[in-house]
């Protein structure tokens, strides 16, 4: 199947969401723990918010994760679709 045929198949987008959403959650959690694990374990969520989400940082934070998750899901589902 070609790329366009795979995208037009009925279960493609459903399967892509099944891969992308858990991967997005996983990438988000790993990123938060890498950026501010001390503050998370200390319970200082105001500092976690300040470090990752204030002053427009949330846009870059989520955009990168969504693009990575979408790309990974597209790769996996295209590879597995027959």
Ordered per-residue pLDDT tens for the chain, 82 residues: 788 888 888 889 999 999 999 999 999 999 999 989 999 999 999 999 999 899 999 999 999 999 999 999 999 999 988 7
Residues 6+ apart with CB under 8 A from 9: 1, 81
Q: Which domain covers residue 69, as residue numbers?
A: 3-80
With vertex at residue 80, the alpha carbon angle to CA 75 and CA 82, rounded to the nearest 5 degrees, is 125
Of 42, 67, 62, 38, which is closest to residue 52 (Cα–Cα)?
A: 62
Give the per-residue pLDDT at 10.
Answer: 83
List the helix and strand counts (H, then E) for the chain: 4, 0
CA 47 to chain CA mean position, Å: 22
Give the per-residue pLDDT at 44.
Answer: 92
Report pTM.
Answer: 0.84
Q: How many structural domains comprise the chain?
A: 1
């Amino acid at each position: 199947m070609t790329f366009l045929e795979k995208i037009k198949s009925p279960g493609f987008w459903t399967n892509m969401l099944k891969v992308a959403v858990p991967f997005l959650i996983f990438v988000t959690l790993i990123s938060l723990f890498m950026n501010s694990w001390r503050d998370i374990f200390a319970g200082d969520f105001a500092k976690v918010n300040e470090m990752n989400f204030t002053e427009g940082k949330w846009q870059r934070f989520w955009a990168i994760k969504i693009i990575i998750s979408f790309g990974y899901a597209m790769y996996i589902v295209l590879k597995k679709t027959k």
